[in-house]
Amino acid sequence: MKSLIIAATLLFVPAHSLSAQQQRTTQTETIETLLARIERLERRVAELEGSKVQAQPATQRTEQTQVPAEALHPEVAQSVSEGPSLKIAGFSDFNFSGSDQKGTKSGFTEGQFVLHLNSNLTQKVSFMGELSLTARTDAGGGMPPVTGFNAEVERSIIRFEHNDYLKVSFGRYHTPINYWNTAFHHGQWLQTTVSRPEMVQFGGRFIPVHFVGGLVEGAVGAAGLNFNYNFGVGNGRGSVISRGGDAGDINNSRAWLVNMFIKPDKLYGLQVGGSAYRDKISTGGRDFGEWISSAHVVWNRETPEVIAEFANVRHENLTTASPVSNSQAYYVQTGYRLPVFDKRFKPYYRFEYIHIPRSDFLFQSPVVPNLAGSVAGLRYDLTSFAALKFEYRNQRRDPGQPRINSGFVQTSFTF
């Protein structure tokens, strides 16, 4: 019966309305979908035969729709059932890089291996987790020998949804005070470029990349402006300021944040917003007050793509009298999905800048180095789920220092 179904189905695969190349691709996908579906149906038929359920007459059209939806589409059945339904997806990348910086070596590097777990506990309660495995440069050293990869729980969030206006969650987040930090996470394939802007680099210190605590979020129509908000309370930075307070807060002063943005109906693709973040940092026997204010403008339609962000980090030494410092960082990235070659090519450019004043004792170089640099590259989408990126970087750390030129090739994908 399988061959009959396949033959009958293939005969009726539509052969119009697409270009020749698209047609081949979509027909292949359609055939694969159908084969998978046929297998599911055959299994269901076998189950029904096994349980001696009477088949219904084939002559009445209405009876076709009486085949249980759950049998026809198991994943839909899963989504409406009351119980955990774990789904796993993954991201990874492989890179080759070379640089004219003294002391560096060219070669291949393995990017993060990221697993993303998602489970609906009920219709209104869901969990999501993100695990990463990162190659270690000190693998095999020490006693006992260090393992080759460092495992990290990047995100772990349980969310309770009342409706679109109100969602409450608890867990470990990527701090929602920066667009890039919440839009792309650890999936390199999702972002246009090879690397993240340095102001939101993983393991970086300019802004707190992770946040442990609770968030209240939601969205309202606001007369077509589509106003979105996040309010959060959490532990803030740890004594190592690149880390969130996973094992507890280092002081009795919670961090809090506010993030708001709009996505106007009339300018589909535009997002404009800003954030504020307040924390008390205790490190090296001193306390610092931290105020972060940030803003972003994004046009995400790809023709063109524009992402621009700015952040000011204000530090005040609460232990000894010293001047208040303001460190700033921004980047502007543009890209354009070319209309030729099946829209697979996307050239891009990014300028980024970080300035740390001498008065900022917490960020003073080399903790957060200054930066003025450009990134230019080309993204080629091999398939809908894998990309190849070529990138050139030209960066200077401080005025008077030589510029560093680097080249990168990356293949990134989701699986």
Partner 1 sequence: MKAFGITLIIVLISGSIAGWTAPAGSDIAVVVSRDVPIDDLSFSELRKILLGDRQYWSSNLRVTLLIRAPAAREREVILRNVLEMTEAQYRQYWIGKVFRAESSSAPKSIATNEMAFSLLNSIPGSIAFVNASQVPKDLKVVRLGGLLPGDKGYPLN
Considering only residues 53 to 82 of the shown chain, the ones binding partner 1 according to CB under 8 A are: 55-58, 63-65, 67-69, 72-73, 75-76, 79-80
Name the one range near partner 1 by CB under 8 A: 14-22, 100-108, 239-247, 248-256: 14-22
Report CA-CA distances (Å) from 161 to 150, 200, 212. 33, 29, 19
Q: Where are the alpha helices (DSSP H) in 51-166?
A: 69-72, 74-80
First-to-final CA distance of the chain? 32
Smallest separation (angstroms) from partner 1 to the CB of 293:
23
Segment contacting partner 1 (CB under 8 A): 33-41, 234-242, 323-331, 363-371? 33-41
3-state secondary structure 338-406: CCCHHHCEEEEEEEEEEECCCCCCCCCCCCCCCEEEEEEEEEEEEECCEEEEEEEEEEECCCCCCCEEE
Instruction: Assess 323 for contact with partner 1 (CB under 8 A).
Output: no
Of the candidates 396, 392, 355, the one whose C-alpha atom is nearest the C-alpha of residue 373 is 396
List CB contacts of 294: < 8 A, sequence separation 6 or more.
177, 178, 207, 274, 275, 276, 277, 309, 310, 311, 312
**Tokens found for residue 39:** 């297998």
Which value, to the nearest 10 degrees, does the dihedral of the CA atoms of residues 185, 189, 192, 193 take? 80
Cα gap 197→184, rounded to integer Å: 11
Give whichever of 13 and 139 is closer to partner 1, judged by the CB atom.
13
The single residue listed with the structure tokens 């398939």 is 383
- Site for partner 1, residues 264 to 283, rule: CB under 8 A: 265, 268
Q: According to CB under 8 A, which one of 137, 163, 252, 320 is a site residue for partner 1?
A: 163
Q: Which of 169, 183, 259, 176 is nearest to 215 (CA)?
A: 169
Q: Is the dihedral of CA 310, 316, 317, 318 positive or negative?
A: negative
Residue 126 within binding range of partner 1, rule CB under 8 A: yes
Pick the closer one to partner 1 by CB: 111 or 373.
111
Find the shortest distance in angstroms from Cβ 347 to partner 1: 17
139-147, 179-187, 306-314, 351-359 -> range binding partner 1 (CB under 8 A): 179-187
Under rule CB under 8 A, which residues in 359-388 are in contact with partner 1? 381, 384-385
Which of the ranges 29-37, 132-140, 279-287, 328-336 carries the binding residues for partner 1, by CB under 8 A? 29-37
In angstroms, what is the minimal distance from the CB of 27 to partner 1? 7
Closest CB to partner 1 among residues 277, 413: 413
Residues 82-101 within binding reach of partner 1 (CB under 8 A): 87, 89, 91
Among the residues of 96-208, which ranges form H helices? 179-183
The verdict on 120 binding partner 1 (CB under 8 A) reads yes
Query: Residues 197 to 216: which contact partner 1 by CB under 8 A?
Result: none
Beta carbon of residue 395, minimum distance to partner 1 (angstroms, whole number): 28
Among 19, 39, 47, 49, binds partner 1 (CB under 8 A): 49
Pairing of the two strands 227-234 and 325-335? unpaired
What minimum distance in Å lies between the beta carbon of 250 and partner 1? 27
From CA 102, how far away is CA 123, in angstroms rounded?
56
Among 110, 152, 302, 316, which residue sits at the site for partner 1 (rule: CB under 8 A)?
A: 302
CA distances from 188 to 66, 128, 180, 411 (A): 44, 19, 12, 9
C-alpha span between 288 and 279 (Å, rounded): 8
Q: Does 340 bind partner 1 (CB under 8 A)?
A: no
Closest contact distance (angstroms) between CB of 169 and partner 1 is 8
Can you read off the two tokens belonging to residue 309? 């962000």
From the CB of 49, what's the least distance to partner 1, in Å? 5
Question: Which region holds residue 14: left if phi is over 0, alpha if psi is between -120 and 50, else beta?
Answer: beta
Q: How many residues bind partner 1 (CB under 8 A)?
A: 76
Name which of 136 and 343 has its Cβ closer to partner 1: 343
Query: Which residues within the stretch 214-253 sit at the binding site for partner 1 (CB under 8 A)?
Result: 219, 224, 226
Interface pick for partner 1 out of 35, 134, 152, 159 (rule CB under 8 A): 159
Residue with tokens 């070319």: 338
Q: Is 33 or 109 the residue whose CB approaches partner 1 more closely?
A: 33
CA-derived radius of gyration, the chain: 26
At closest approach, how far in Å is the CB of 354 from partner 1? 25
Binder among 24, 29, 153, 319 for partner 1 (CB under 8 A): 29
**Candidates 119-127, 198-206, 242-250, 397-405; binding stretch for partner 1 (CB under 8 A):** 119-127
